[in-house]
Structures are given as C-alpha cells and as structure tokens.
C-alpha cells in the first residue's frame, strides 16, 4: 500500500483515521467454517438452529397463506438448503426474534427494504411483509450459493422505537457484541471529475457539462472507451483525456469517514474487532466497514428509524378505536379510491409521491394497479428520466405506442412493464432464459452493469451469446438484446425494494383516501412530537 493512497483523507476523526488505513485490497480469507454469529437460544425440542428455522418458516408460511402450493414449498426448501449450507440459520432467527419482539410491543415494522423482500424465508418469518412469489421477486437478488459475502437485511422501525430495538439486541447478546460501524465516503465518478478538474484549473460549468454525460456511479474507464458522445468531446479536446485518466485512478478511493447511519454489527468474538472509543459520537464504533467485515465472516444488520411508520402506526391505532381488527397489511391492493387519489396527483402526505416532479409523472401515468406504483418509484430517477424511459412506459401503457418484443423469450419477462426494461430482476431473468446463465452468474451480470468494466462486460457478452446459441436464438438478435441490457440495464432498479416501498406509498395513499380524518390527525401528532424533539 502506497503512503499517498489516501491523500484525500479528512484528518479530524480521532482514531477513526486508523480504519482509513486498512487497504481495501487486503486478501482476507472468508470465514466459511464458522461465521461469527451469536447462538440463538431456540426451544429445547429442536436439536439444531436449522431445525428450528425450518419449522418456524413452514409454520409462518401456513399462518400467512393457509394451505400453500407446491411452488411455495419448493421455493422455501431451495432457500433453506442454501441457508443451511452457509450456516446462517442463527442469523435469520436473531432477526426474526427482534421483529417479533418489536411487534409484540405494538410497533409497526416496515414491509422490507433492499433485496431481502425477494426471500420467502424472510416473508415466512415476518421479517418482510411482501410475498416474493406473488410479486415475482428473486431470491438470487438477495442471496445465492455463489456468494462469499453476507446477506443484507434492512429493517425499518418507527423512529421512536429505533434506540429501543438496539437496546434489546445489546441486552440479549451483550453490549460488547452489538456495535455501530464506521462508514467510508467514497469518490464516485462525479466527485472524481470535480476534484481532478479543480486541480487542473477547469471551470465548474465545463466539469458539470461533462458529468451530465454519464451516471454519477458510472465507471469512468468504461465511459472513456464506450460512451460515443464523450469520446467525440475528448477527441476534440485532448486535455480532457488527462482529466479522465487521473479521475479514473482516484474513483472509489476514500475521501471521508464517519459513523454509519444504520449498520449494526452483531457478533460473538469481541476480541477480534477493532473498536474506536475516542470519537466525536462518544460511543463505541467498529473500525471495520461492511466490506471488510464480510470478508472476515461477520454479519451486520441495517436498522433504520423511519418517520412514515410512526404516522401509519398512529393512524392504525386511531382507526382501531372504531374498527378493532383493522390490519394495515390486509388492506385491498385494488382500492378504487386510492388509485383515483393518486391519478389526480392529490399526494400531499403520500410517501415518496409528494414532489412536484413525481406528481406530474403520476398524473400522466394514472396508476390503475399496484404494480404501477412500483414502476413509478423505479422510473422516477435521473438516469431513467434522462433516457426517456418514463415516457416510453406511459405511451405503451395507454396504447399510444405499440409493444414489441425482439424475441418470444422476452414476452413473459417484460410483459408486466409493457416491454420496457425497468427492473434488475428482469435483467437477471433474461440472462437465465436467453443466455443460459446460472442464478449466480445472472446476479453477477446485474452487478457488473453498474461498473461496466470492459473486460468483465466482454466476458459476459461472450457467455450470453454462447448461451443464446444453445437456445437457438440468432446471433444478431442476441447481440441486440445484450446491447440493450447494457444500455438500459444500468438504469434498471431493484424490484424487491420498490415493491416493498411501493407498499408503504400505497398504504399512506389508502389511509388518506379512506380514513382522511385519522390520517391527518396522526400526521399532525407525529410532526408535533418530532418538532418538540428538535
């Protein structure tokens, strides 16, 4: 590791600076034999934590669905097989226990965040509230047998219960075994261009124009070699080649350190973890970030205080004074009042739908089913908007533009989004259906689209074309489809996340449309409490 590798470090983090000197290219060997997870205290009738997990999952699924189909049974067995192989039973039981404890205390837990909504295990245990089979979500987007890293699980709690949730974990597993973690601010493409450009004396306007040519998280090296518009600009001004050459070297480097807002480390080996005691947060902080912890076999969970849940929770309590058995997770997802409210843009107070831009988009799209809400959240982002994807989707939905599929294999995958590639899960399904990818390789392709490293993309293209040949797909068509995946797949979004968060958006819209008095009263109450705490 060269001494000047971290020249851009902030120097005011006390002993946090120690963590910044950990070379991210250190070759730690993953702890496959025994992940550092506390043992969960399961009932004595079970011999192992896996037996307990398996039983809890099947019992939980039956409670939710009644008599479930063979599809559910096979999916659950498939997921459990992988979790057993990876020795992660205790981990899922620990998280499930935290969720159950919180709900028994009367606190509403969010339906899911990130990719965990794609797991039937998480749904069965009550960790998530979204049925992954009903919403065609993939377990491989969450975790698969090829992974050496640990599965990410994010939990949304009412903001008022956040600290109590962490206290519960500390009491159960020991205060030394439950700590918050450090976070590293890394230099993305946009920051790399700005920092380098300032040093070279280039104006902000010029640098800003350059940054608009690609996504802020793009791979600068890939953009230099493959972005046609950018290549033309560089050809006219050779000095920009120097800009990109330097910027690509500092991209992904560390420029700041701090305390992660949500990540909590839960483990059983406190002597193996470097802890910061002297820091501005005045609490113990683990000095390994998630990436390093994963390599060493440690697990983290993201616990987030979420104000919208406080509003929903309070609204539900007010409704239950009249309707004793009201359950926010049993409301109909095809409520006409709710969709009328959304289509009119009457979304003040509706989670994620309050901005002027989103209101304009939702009035154009006029959602008529729950899946439209997920699409809205996936498309209302800078990349898709700049590429024209929202307009394309709207025109196809309302029959103004013909829906065309380049190959019959694409129809069952893209039909739900009118032929528009919206979700990362669709990328993975195309890779499996047409490119003959394994579930693990399909997810690696999904990850590679964000970085677009030339060698990696060339390798995946060859693999895709070879797989397509086996499926008797003409090379010309397979090439066109892969190029479309590269072009639009980079803008695609995690369906597991937007389905879960779309449910929160729908819940707030439903409450506003059907229980306006209680919803307004709850919103005012929570805002008043928050203002007092400020």
Domains and CATH numbers, the chain: 31-106+115-147 (no CATH), 308-377+495-527 (1.10.150.700), 382-489 (no CATH)
Integer CA distances (angstroms), 225 to 70, 216, 222, 236, 281, in order = 49, 17, 5, 15, 44
Residue-wise pLDDT for 484-507, tens only, equals 999 888 889 999 999 999 999 999
Residue-wise pLDDT for 272-300, tens only, equals 888 888 788 888 899 888 888 888 888 89
pLDDT band at 147, cuts 50/70/90?
A: low
User: Would you tell me how many other CB atoms lie within 10 Å of the CB of residue 359?
Assistant: 18
pLDDT of residue 7: 30
Place of tokens 């991210």: 24
Residue-wise pLDDT for 245-272, tens only, equals 899 999 988 888 888 888 999 998 877 8
Write the CB contacts of 214 (distance below 8 Å, at least 6 apart in sequence): 189, 223, 227, 230
Query: Could you tell me the two tokens for 438?
Result: 């394994």
Residue-wise pLDDT for 195-249, tens only, equals 999 899 888 888 888 888 887 778 888 888 888 888 888 888 878 889 988 999 9
Q: Is the predicted pLDDT of residue 89 greater than 60, yes or no?
A: yes
pTM: predicted TM-score of the whole model, two decimal places:
0.84
Residue-wise pLDDT for 90-114, tens only, equals 999 999 999 999 999 888 899 999 9
pLDDT band at 62, cuts 50/70/90?
A: very high
According to DSSP, residue 286 is labeled E
Average pLDDT, the chain: 88
Cα-Cα end-to-end distance for the chain: 44
- H/E element, 528: helix 516-533
How much is the average pLDDT of 464-481? 96
């Amino acid at each position: 590791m060269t001494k000047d590798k971290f020249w851009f470090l902030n120097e005011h983090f006390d002993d946090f600076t120690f963590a910044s000197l950990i070379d991210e290219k250190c070759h730690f060997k993953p702890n496959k034999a025994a992940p550092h997870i506390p043992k969960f205290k399961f009932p004595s009738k079970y011999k192992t934590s896996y037996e307990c997990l398996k039983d809890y999952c099947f019992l939980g699924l039956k409670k939710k669905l009644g008599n479930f189909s063979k599809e559910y049974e096979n999916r659950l067995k498939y997921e459990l097989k992988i979790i057993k192989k990876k020795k992660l039973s205790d981990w899922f039981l620990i998280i499930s226990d935290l969720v159950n404890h919180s709900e028994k205390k009367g606190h509403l837990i969010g339906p899911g965040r990130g990719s965990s909504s794609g797991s039937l295990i998480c749904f069965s245990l009550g960790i998530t509230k979204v049925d992954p089979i009903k919403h065609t979500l993939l377990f491989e987007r969450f975790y698969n047998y090829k992974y050496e890293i640990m599965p990410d699980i994010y939990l949304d709690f009412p903001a008022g219960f956040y600290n109590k949730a962490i206290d519960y974990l500390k009491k159960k597993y020991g205060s030394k075994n439950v700590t918050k973690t450090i976070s590293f601010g890394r230099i993305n493409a946009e920051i790399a261009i700005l920092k380098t450009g300032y040093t070279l004396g280039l104006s902000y306007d010029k640098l800003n124009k350059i940054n608009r040519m690609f996504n802020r998280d793009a791979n600068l090296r890939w953009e230099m070699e493959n972005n046609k518009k950018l290549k033309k600009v560089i050809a006219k001004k050779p000095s920009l080649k120097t800009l990109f050459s330097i910027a690509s070297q500092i991209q992904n480097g560390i420029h700041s350190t701090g305390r992660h807002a949500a990540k909590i480390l839960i483990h059983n080996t406190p002597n193996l973890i470097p802890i910061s005691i002297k820091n501005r947060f005045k609490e113990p902080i683990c000095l390994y970030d998630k990436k390093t912890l994963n390599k060493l076999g440690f697990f983290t969970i993201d616990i987030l205080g979420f104000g919208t849940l406080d509003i929903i929770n309070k609204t539900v309590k007010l409704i239950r004074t009249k309707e004793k058995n009201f359950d926010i997770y049993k409301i109909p997802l095809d409520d006409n009042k709710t969709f009328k409210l959304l289509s009119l843009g009457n979304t003040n107070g509706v989670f994620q739908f309050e901005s002027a831009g989103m209101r304009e988009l939702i009035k154009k799209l006029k959602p008529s089913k729950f899946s439209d809400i997920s699409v809205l959240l996936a498309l209302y982002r800078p990349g898709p908007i700049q590429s024209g994807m929202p307009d394309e989707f709207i025109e196809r939905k309302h029959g103004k533009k013909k829906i065309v599929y380049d190959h019959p294999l694409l129809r069952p995958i893209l039909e739900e989004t009118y032929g528009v590639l919206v979700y990362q899960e669709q990328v993975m399904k195309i890779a499996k259906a047409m490119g003959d990818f394994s579930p693990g390789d399909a997810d690696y392709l999904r990850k590679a689209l964000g970085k677009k490293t030339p060698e990696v993309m060339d390798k995946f293209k060859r693999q895709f074309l070879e797989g397509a040949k086996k499926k008797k797909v003409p090379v010309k068509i397979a090439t066109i489809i892969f190029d479309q995946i590269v072009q639009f797949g980079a803008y695609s979004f995690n369906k597991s996340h937007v389905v879960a968060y779309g449910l929160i958006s729908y819940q707030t819209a439903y409450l506003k449309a059907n229980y306006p008095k209680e919803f307004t009263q709850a919103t005012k109450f929570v805002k008043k409490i928050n203002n007092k705490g400020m």
